[in-house]
Structure 1
Amino acid sequence: MHAFSEMGLRIPRIQLPKEGTDYEKWAVVACDQYTSEPAYWEEADRIVGTSPSTLRMILPEYYLGKPQEEELTKQIRSHMKEYEETGVLRTLPEGCMLVKRTAAGRTRLGLVIAVDLEAYDYTKGSTSLIRATERTITERIPPRLRIRRGAPIELPHIIILIDDPDKTVIEPLAKKKGTVVYDTDLMLDGGHITGTFFPKEALGGVQEAFSRLYDKSTECFGKGKEFLMAMGDGNHSLATAKAAWEEIRKTLSPQEREDHPARYALCELENVHDDGIVFEPIHRVLFGEGKLTGEEIVRKTVEILKKQNPDAYLAEESDGNEAGAVDCGDRDAAQRVTQTGRKEDSYRIPVIYGGTCRVLVIDHPVSGLEVGALQTALDELVRTEGIRIDYIHGEQTVSELASSVENAGFLLPSMDKHRLFPAVAADGALPRKTFSMGHANEKRYYLEGRSLQV
């Protein structure tokens, strides 16, 4: 049986709020959600009020680049220190939390554990135990690093996936007796969550099952090239933790590096074969902000697309729902359109601008995924025109944002989750924002923390 350390894992000492804390106010959704919806974060702030909350220890990415960013970052450090010094936070013995989350009518299981950042490499062509599933945008790391650098506590919204079709690692724990630590609703339509603690000595079955996955990976990929874990959510957060560790690593002796808390990152492990995990598409909205209209955004996107895909065009409205006009506010209709034509070597992407709904057609695409073809064009447009892009999880939100004459929305299809590990193993990281594990309200809520202090 392999040691946890050999498999890129570590049993952590989890921090949680003291008994009696209102967990519904304590837990807040991942900071990279609702980035174009300030009303969400304003309502979260109203709900929390003066109660202890993870909201006071994270920076919603809506505020990145805004005047409040610097002051909010200072307040994060202050609240972390206050929560530790006043006993708001307590530290559990070494162990893991089994998380049962129900949201949007689906229930999934997760295991809160720490991963070794030495076993994670997001660079292209990586053969590390833990691999990125999308291209890491290094420009996104510095503002996140400013928050993590020197912070005494980490709070993860990171979800890492394992490929366990026989459900041997996480699922058996649900049948065992542990200590229920929290059992609460989550604010703002986040569903319900239960956390059951298992001490280190009760995790032998997890270690044995994970060892079998490790051996299978060795057989499949070769010694030293095992692929055990793939990023599900929070890739840039884990990349930030890696960057912070690399800074600290340089200052340590080889012996100090072995056990330094910054070498590890808390996360939630989930099984990609869990029936409660659904891969949702991540749509794109571009904001003209006075530089371009939505119609111009779409036209220029098509022009850029045609450089690599000569048979790309915007279908005429008279062509009917299958090609031209479509009810883009109808999720099922939009998804039907995106699925149409794949067998014919063709993509159809619903587009909304100024309330108008059309279909972008790419015949004989050079990319194996719709998102791969589209993202390259959008990246170039954003770079050359200086406009803004956001990544949106719901069709209705895209429709609302793209109703403005200055904006344009692109509706993308969902990805088959069973293709994830084979695709990453074969081709490396997928195009940026290829999939989402559910809609925004299904994302991980901050609950557990871990001390980063020596």
Structure 2
Amino acid sequence: MNFDKIGLQVPEILLPNKDVDLYKWSVVACDQYTSQPDYWEQAKTTTENQPSTLNVIFPEVFLEDSDGDERIKNINNNMQQYLDDEILVPMSQKGFVLVDRKTSQAPSRKGLVVAIDLEQYDFNKGSQTLIRATEGTIVDRLPPRIKVRQDAAIELPHIMVLIDDPQRTVIEPLFEQNPTALYDFELMMNSGHLKGYAIDTPELIQQVADALENLASPEVFAKKYNAEGKDVLLYAMGDGNHSLATAKAIWEKIKQDVTDTQSVMDNPARYALVELVNIHDEGLQFEPIHRVIFNVNPEQLLKDMQAHFSGNCSICRCDNEAEMKQRAQVANIENIHIVPFNDISGYGYIQIENPVFTLELATIESFLNDYLDNNGGKVDFIHGDDVVNELGVKEGNMGFFFPPISKHSLFKTIIFDGALPRKTFSMGEADEKRFYLEARKIK
């Protein structure tokens, strides 16, 4: 089967052997709970002395700790040990894994674990490739991730890639074929339930390929988006944007370092394991990603923001959170952006008239990025109002609340406007993120 036209490979997927406790094996994506080390300490306690993906990932909450190199060395050693001890073993044959995830917010979110071709992915601005980033990729954030992956024996995906399949032709029909069950278990820390099924027969694999090839048809694409003359976008990044960009960077380096370009194209590092999710899946919800700023003077920041927007920016204080949220409901007035915030003094909102950008986030970041570069301070990307409420009101901190974007307009926005600002949206809350389970050799 030739999958080049749809940027796909049928991978040899590794799964934990039957003696592994999957409750302890599977942990949440490493880029979650980045300001909550207690979460990761609890995960460590839960998985103590047991085979676990916690031992082969680098939670980003610890990226700035002094033991980074030692941690990466241990990760690489643990990966090899899991292979040598057959903690990870191949599925009976090459294929995909059909996933059904229950979360705290949805009874079912369906996905399909596949390998995508990094030759058909470009995260740079203006990309017209088959696989595209949906948000700006910060190249400066790649080096620590590259250090983790470059000597890794295996990859474990928390990457989720979206397809726009309103007729539900790719993933959903596979559940009607009675696929063989691979796993069925509760996820740790009240994060839901996970089921997986083997999609490994030639007939089912071809069914997937045919449905994706139809979505990638230039004629179907042009009609769907009124995009005559535009290059086809089949896969749009959902979660794990920087992880896929890391895989791409390493793949490009591998190609540069060899003279036999033909043989290198068979290198397993050419592909990346991901979970495909239909953007029309009822279990998939887009949530905003808020911001909390650390080590700043909120009053000075607000004064400088008003000066930056040259008289178009007003700051209003509110008596409580409820009033702040009520005032923010008028945020969809044309030519006005309203962004709620909190700090040690309480709640309020920022009102900006005649904004240059479409999204509130883009408007605020047009000021905030330069401000932090020039004045110091640190930003973290936060899922959930409750965490912003907890962190934003501490001395020296400030929280910004942003509205969600519509998932149904995402593909058309990327096709015509390009990538969104970094960390614009999240596919669900933190505990709904992908949990590590499947793996694939990349060496």
SS for the counterpart of 2:18 is coil
Contact kept in structure 2, 1:334 and 1:411, CA below 8 Å: no
Query: 2:284 maps to which residue?
Result: 277
1:188 positional shift: 1.5
TM-superposed deviation, 1:222: 5.9
Separation of aligned partners in 2, 1:4 and 1:235:
23
Deviates more, 1:209-218 or 1:363-372: 209-218
Aligned partner letter, 1:177: N
Partner Cα separation in structure 1 for residue 40 and residue 230 of structure 2: 44
On the 8 A contact 1:355/1:399 being kept in 2, the answer is no
Query: Which of 413, 425, 431 is residue 415 of structure 2 equivalent to?
Result: 425
User: Gaps spanning 5+ residues in structure 1: where?
Assistant: 318-324
Distance 1:21 1:84 in 2: 13
**In the alignment, which of 202, 205, 209 is matched to residue 203 of structure 1?**
205
Separation in 2, partners of 1:267, 1:275? 20
Q: Is the 8 A contact 2:161 2:275 kept in 1?
A: yes
Taking structure 1 as reference, are residues 383 and 91 closer, same or farther at Cα in structure 2, changes over 3 Å only? same
Instruction: Supply the AA of the counterpart residue of 1:394.
Output: G
Q: What secondary structure is seen at the aligned counterpart in 2 of 1:267? A: strand
Structure 2 residue 102 is the aligned partner of structure 1 residue 102: yes
Structure 2 residue aligned with 1:321: none
Q: Percent identity?
A: 42
C-alpha distance after superposition, 1:122-170 (max 9, x if no partner): 1111100001000100000000000100211011110000011111111
2:95 is paired with a residue of what secondary structure?
strand
Shift of 1:177: 1.2
Rounded Cα–Cα distance in structure 1 between residues aligned with 2:319 and 2:2:
54
What does 1:391-410 correspond to in 2, within 5 Å? 391-410=381-400
- What residue identity is the alignment partner of 2:255? R
Distance 1:186 1:72, change over 3 A: same
Taking the TM superposition and a 5 Å limit, the aligned residue runs for 1:55-454 are: 55-92=54-91, 93-106=93-106, 107-201=108-202, 202-215=204-217, 216-217=220-221, 221=227, 225-252=231-258, 253-288=260-295, 292-304=296-308, 306-307=309-310, 310-315=311-316, 317=317, 325=318, 327-328=320-321, 337-453=327-443
Whole-Å separation in 2 of the counterparts to 1:46 and 1:222: 55
Report 1:7-18 matches (<5 A). Answer: 7-18=6-17
> Quick one: structure 1 residues 326 and 169, their matched pair in 2 at CA, closer, same or farther if it must change by over 3 Å?
farther
**C-alpha distance in structure 2 between counterparts of 1:378 and 1:452, whole Å:** 39
Structure-2 separation of matches of 1:208 and 1:95:
15
CA distance in 1 between counterparts of 2:5 and 2:385 reads 43
Name which of structure 1's ranges 209-218 and 4-13 shifts more when overlaid on structure 2. 209-218
User: TM-score normalized by structure 1?
Assistant: 0.92
Contact 2:6 2:209 in 1 (8 A): no
Which letter maps to 2:257? T
Deviations along 1:318-343, whole A, 9 cap, x unmatched? xxxxxxx1643x6xx76654441423
Residues 407 and 182 (structure 1), Cα distance of their counterparts in 2 relative to 1, 3 Å cut = same
Match of 1:41 in 2: 40
TM-superposed deviation, 1:302:
3.5
Q: Quick one: distance in 2 between partners of 1:242 and 1:200?
A: 29
Structure 1 168/298 Cα, relative in aligned 2: closer, same or farther at 3 Å?
Answer: same
Q: Counterpart of 1:293 in structure 2: which amino acid?
A: N
Q: 1:13·1:95 contact (CA, 8 Å) conserved in 2?
A: yes
Cα drift, residue 432 of structure 1: 1.3
Amino acid at match of 1:211: E
Aligned residue identity for 1:103:
T
Instruction: Name the SS for the 2:113 alignment partner.
Output: strand
Unmatched tracts of structure 2, length 5 or more: none
Mapped to 2, the partners of 1:334 and 1:422 lie a distance apart of 32
CA deviation after TM superposition for structure 1 residue 427, in Å: 0.9
Aligned partners of 1:295 and 1:353 also within 8 Å: no
| Residues 437, 443 of structure 1: 8 Å contact kept | yes
CA distance in 1, matches of 2:393, 2:200: 52
Q: Which amino acid aligns with 2:333?
A: K
TM-fit CA distance, 1:314:
0.6
The question of 1:4 aligning with 2:6 is answered no
Aligned to 2:51: 52
* d(CA) in 1 for partners of 2:367, 2:343: 17
Deviation string for 1:49-74 (max 9, x for gaps)? Answer: 01100000000001112113222111
CA distance in 2, matches of 1:334, 1:269: 37
Q: Which whole-Å CA distance do the structure 1 matches of 2:178 and 2:403 have between them?
A: 40
Aligned-partner residue type, residue 116 of structure 1: D
- Determine whether 1:22 maps to 2:21: yes
Range with greater deviation from structure 2 (138-147 or 176-185)? 176-185
Q: Is the 8 A contact 2:324 2:347 kept in 1?
A: no
Over 3 Å counting, the alpha-carbon distance change for 1:142 and 1:380 in structure 2 is same
